[in-house]
Amino acid sequence: MNKSSRVRRSIRLLLASFFAVAVASSLIAHEQKTALTDIFYNERTGNLEIAHRVNVHDAEHALKKATDSRADLTRSAKAREAFSDYAAERFAISIDKTNKLKLKLVGQELERGYLWIYQETKIPSPTNASFYIENSILHDAVKGQLNTVNVRFRKKVSTLEFEADSGAKLYSRGKDQEVLKSE
């Protein structure tokens, strides 16, 4: 997306095609509407590890809306892979919002009612870096979806929340930051 700042200022309303799937049944007294992403740097492997946890039932509905396929995520590995692709497309880490890191999709697995999706990337020294995160997983499928991202750095946890309008958010460790680079 290479939009000029003029567009940004004039708050033009745009009908993005993928947003057309936005109407899902609302699950008021019941649904969790939350997805979780855990990000941490594995010093043993030199990988920035990203693990997304979504509710299988929410994911199924999202996939059904997005691809019009009748997905059974519990039984079909193909459907789970399709959802992983869907999720991977809706999550990004970047230094300046435009140069997105290449995240490798490691895989997915079921754990009880959750589907976990794993991504990772090799980075030289992330421990003191700041970076932008974007996370719109399920925003186009579940009304009021709230995605919580925990970035863990040693004993400190920083939490960012992503709702439908959040866009990119800055994760920042403080003054002496290094710039995150992908190898």
Using CB under 8 A, which residues numbered 36 to 65 contact another protein? 36, 38, 40, 42, 44-45, 47, 49, 51, 53, 55-57, 60, 64
The β-bridge relationship of strands 104-111 and 146-153 is unpaired
Query: Smallest distance from the beta carbon of 107 to another protein, in angstroms?
Result: 6
Binder among 101, 125, 128, 159 for another protein (CB under 8 A): 159
Q: Is residue 154 a contact point for another protein (CB under 8 A)?
A: no
Q: Which is nearer to another protein, 25 or 179 (CB)?
A: 25
DSSP per residue over 111-151, as a string?
ETTEEEEEEEEE-S--TTEEEEEEE-TTTTTSTT-EEEEEE
The smaller minimum CB distance to another protein, of residues 40 and 130, is found at: 40
The token pair at 126 is 């992330």
Task: Please give the structure tokens belonging to residue 151.
Answer: 């970035």
Choosing from 99, 122, 128, 157, the residue that interacts with another protein (CB under 8 A) is 157
Closest to another protein by CB, 25 or 176: 25
Look at residues 65, 46, 62 and name the one whose alpha carbon lies nearest to residue 54: 62
Nearer to another protein, 60 or 131 (CB): 60
Short-list 123, 106, 102, CA closest to 183? 123
From the CB of 92, what's the least distance to another protein, in Å?
A: 10
For the CB of residue 6, give the shortest distance to another protein in the complex, in Å: 10
Strand 34-42 relative to strand 146-153: parallel, antiparallel, unpaired? Answer: parallel
Q: Does 19 bind another protein (CB under 8 A)?
A: yes
Question: What residues from 92 to 151 belong to the interface with another protein (CB under 8 A)?
Answer: 97-98, 104-107, 109, 112-114, 116, 118, 120, 134, 139-140, 143-146, 148, 150
* H or E, element range at 28: none
Rounded CA separation 9/182 (Å): 32
